[in-house]
Structure 1
Amino acid sequence: MIDTNEPIRIAVVMGKYVTGGIKSVILNYYTAIDKDRIQFDLIIDKNSADRDYDEFTTWGAKIYEVTPINKNPVKNIYDVQKILKTQNYKVVHGYLNTLNILPMFSGFLAGTKIRVAENLSTAHPKEPKTFFKNMLKPFGRSFATHLAANSKYAAEWLYGKKELENVKILRNGLDLKHFHYDLNLRKKRRRELNINNNTFVIGHIGRYQFQKNHSFLIDIFQEIHKRNDNTRLILVGYGDLKNEIWGKIRKMGLTDCIIDGGASTNNVANYNAMDCFVMPSYYEGLPVVGIEAQATGLPCVFSSEITEEASIIEPVSFLNLNEDSSIWANEILKFQNHSRIETRDVLTKHGYNIEVESQNLYLYYKYIMN
């Protein structure tokens, strides 16, 4: 039973503490949740580049740094197990996708009664690490007492169709008071980026890694710019492939019309500055940035490798990655005169209002602990 006088402390295993992705999902929930009833304590890789934990610790969260899995998986299991046992956690919630077997095993060894494994991603055959993901997939349910995912697609990919009825879908909720269309913010951000009001702006937010397929995005933009030279592309993100991608941009002579948005944390302003959001990803679970973009009323063009669960507002298009870049350009240019709409009600209806979803998460924890 839950002691209502003290908050439930959840041990959240998130791996690397980096901007975007898993951190965004957890932070959105943590910011909105009633911290008199729920507290998140984070278990993080000690070699994370970002070590600024104030956004969690200011509100009472504890931070534990452990040996990274890629450095020493056995030591990682031991470190996590020790924390869970010493602190006597009743619940451990892993966000490591196919690697959840490790924190779930740690929880098993520590005697942690409730062990939630959540999957937020999938894979693509061309990515080298897919070989290891496929090796781990059969163990996706191992040592977990409860299964969760951010979409049915992600749930089926890791756990299989037979397990779908046993998987809790926890949507990537957003603060819809923050994520919305704001004309004044749009004008301000465009001035900062030196973009004219009548320029058609394509945008992308994501780490420079194989999954996001930046190289094809540059090919698409080249086709767009050939047809309309009053166009710009904003790239927001960081990652191992950034130098390679910007080398391609320079080689193609596109540096004057592609904007490096850096590793921005003010993405609401960036979405408002854009006119179309494009994600030619090789794979996703259910992309947070795709939901954020739609919350600001942006039309989106996604690859067909992204689940159609990501389509919330109109218009959202899905194109096959086998289609030529010119086909993608044609589709994107359809949105040159698109008017933005209010999205709060439809996002709330589809389960992306964090005010509602944080309460649902609390009720979920309460249910599985009783």
Structure 2
Amino acid sequence: MEDKNMENNSQMNNSQAGVCEPIRVLHVFGRVGLGGAESRIMDLYRNIDRDKIQFDFLVHYSAKKTGKMAPTSDELLAVREPDFYDEAIRELGGNIYVLPRFEGKNFFAYKKAISNFFSENRGKWQVVHGHMTSTAALYLPVARKKGGAAVTIAHSRNAGTEPGLKGIATKILRLPLKRLGTADHYFTCSEKAGRAVFGDKLFDQGYVRTIPNAIDVKKFAYDADIRNKIRAELGVSEDEIVIGHVGRFDYQKNHEYLIRIFDQVLKLAKEKMPDRKLLLIMLGQGSLMDTVKAQVNDLGIQDRVRFLGLKGNSSDYYRAMDYFLFPSFFEGLPGTVVEAQAAGLKCLISDTITTEVDITELVSRMDIRKDPSEWAGKILEDLAHLPDRQAETPRFEQELADAGFDAQTQAKAISYFYEHGSFKD
């Protein structure tokens, strides 16, 4: 590994010799919406020295509107709908490029589009950082060979796949990532995610580097004025209990189970705290939102559940919450749980999630095979002993920072890597 780092370091220094332009890093994503991985990179982007390092983004979009199998980036940009972070990326000095979305049947057209893209942009990026691991084994070798990238990175962000054919296809496409040479470096947000994508052998031999999903910790600090403002907008009284969840509406997040838990919470609360109202607020969008809304209506609890969609000021909504619920089937390392801890919220999460997210005493976990009533019982117990968030938040902030989850600290470490091809251990 040291020889590889020295080789990459030399290549990066040579590419920068006599040049005053910043090192450009290309981040590869499916899209730049308000997702966890995208938000973590944007937190880093805002905190790096952009005179030294600049980010560009390569995203994916359906080729159907172009009428071509392997359209160019410009052709896709012309038909692509703007995404959440587009404006912020351009304001910070970044560019957005587009590849056709991989759909299996367009395997060869996708490979052709990758080859054309990196050939046409050869030498533009010293580092190509791939967060989309499903096709990383296709685009990273080409980024180095055709694009001239000195360093390529495969970054595991998740510890599981969806059930069915899509999940099987993803596992097959990721197989080359389990051996050396597909990428120069292998990053992961947690041990579970690293082993799931890169395999036990590479992980145990020390080739996989864990990079905490760092957040802008102070952005989530408890603020009573903001809490009151958001709760007023929601029509929530001060003595009403707000349970919160943040996550896209898809299989992984296990919303069907979450709603059943909340339904049981409402039933138990009638017995144990009849004078208190409870409300569930959920931030996010996704393909299963309508299904979850139908479930809420079927249970007759629609007046106690709010679907708030995507919120660019999600930190303000954490402040309005009193408790955080997150029963996912699988995760890499959920940044939302880190954010909830920064906001001083007690969190109840599934025991399938890596323990690396248990940074403070605020996190409890339960088995998602248990009856929802058992989760509900635990929630009511916790609600009777909530922390003094005004007093305790500074301590939680410090614990997160000490564990490497502060974006300012992480930005310095990753910047050094981008400049030198190795970490300053």
Q: What residue identity is the alignment partner of 2:83?
A: R
Q: Answer yes or no: is the 8 Å Cα contact 1:282–1:305 preserved in 2.
A: yes
Following superposition, the deviation at residue 156 of structure 1 comes to 1.5
Query: What is the identity percentage for the equivalent residue pairs of Structure 1 and Structure 2?
Result: 29
What is the alpha-carbon distance in structure 2 between the residues aligned to residue 253 and residue 33 of structure 1?
48
Match of 1:57?
90
What is the alpha-carbon distance in structure 2 between the residues aligned to residue 99 and residue 305 of structure 1?
25
Deviations 1:233-288 (A, max 9, x none): 00111111111110110111001101111222211111111111111101100011
Q: Answer yes or no: is the 8 Å Cα contact 2:144–2:151 preserved in 1.
A: no
Q: Does 2:205 correspond to 1:158?
A: no
Q: Residues 98-117 of structure 1: matches in 2 within 5 Å?
A: 98-110=134-146, 111-117=148-154
Distance 1:49 1:305, change over 3 A: farther
Higher mean C-alpha deviation, range 128-137 or range 240-249: 128-137
Following superposition, the deviation at residue 50 of structure 1 comes to 3.8
Match of 1:204?
245
Q: Answer yes or no: is the 8 Å Cα contact 2:133–2:174 preserved in 1.
A: no
Deviations 1:75-117 (A, max 9, x none): 3333333333333122211001233112213214414331111
Q: Does 2:49 correspond to 1:16?
A: no
Match of 2:218?
177
Q: Does 2:258 correspond to 1:258?
A: no
Match of 1:191?
232
Distance 1:124 1:56, change over 3 A: closer
Q: Answer yes or no: is the 8 Å Cα contact 1:25–1:173 preserved in 2.
A: yes
Match of 1:118?
155
Deviations 1:107-166 (A, max 9, x none): 144143311110100215745532223323422246211111111221111112332211
Q: For structure 2, which runs of at least 5 residues remain unmatched after alignment?
A: 1-12, 63-79, 271-276
Match of 1:244?
291
What is the alpha-carbon distance in structure 2 between the residues aligned to residue 204 and residue 177 of structure 1?
20
Q: For structure 1, which runs of at least 5 residues remain unmatched after alignment?
A: none
Q: Residues 312-323 of structure 1: matches in 2 within 5 Å?
A: 312-323=359-370
Distance 1:49 1:171, change over 3 A: farther
The SS at the match of 1:74 is helix
What is the alpha-carbon distance in structure 2 between the residues aligned to residue 128 and residue 317 of structure 1?
33
Higher mean C-alpha deviation, range 341-350 or range 203-212: 341-350
Match of 2:188?
149
The SS at the match of 2:249 is coil
The SS at the match of 1:64 is strand
The SS at the match of 1:60 is coil
Q: What residue identity is the alignment partner of 1:143?
A: T
Match of 2:102?
69
Match of 2:70?
none
Q: Does 2:257 correspond to 1:216?
A: yes
Higher mean C-alpha deviation, range 6-15 or range 76-85: 76-85
Match of 2:21?
6
Distance 1:329 1:17, change over 3 A: same
Higher mean C-alpha deviation, range 18-27 or range 203-212: 18-27
Q: Answer yes or no: is the 8 Å Cα contact 1:276–1:299 preserved in 2.
A: yes
Distance 1:199 1:127, change over 3 A: farther
What is the aligned counterpart of 2:335 among 267, 288, 294?
288
TM-score between the two structures when normalised by the length of structure 2: 0.82
Following superposition, the deviation at residue 6 of structure 1 comes to 2.1
Distance 1:84 1:359, change over 3 A: farther
Match of 1:93?
129
What is the alpha-carbon distance in structure 1 between the residues aligned to residue 322 and residue 245 of structure 2?
11
What is the alpha-carbon distance in structure 1 between the residues aligned to residue 173 and residue 297 of structure 2?
39
What is the alpha-carbon distance in structure 1 between the residues aligned to residue 310 and residue 162 of structure 2?
28
> How many residues are treated as equivalent by the alignment?
370
Deviations 1:304-325 (A, max 9, x none): 1110101111121111111110
Q: What residue identity is the alignment partner of 1:360?
A: A
Match of 1:31?
46
The SS at the match of 1:233 is strand
**RMSD after superposition:** 2.0
Following superposition, the deviation at residue 171 of structure 1 comes to 1.6
What is the alpha-carbon distance in structure 1 between the residues aligned to residue 192 and residue 141 of structure 2?
25
- Between structure 1 and structure 2, the one with the greater Rg is 2
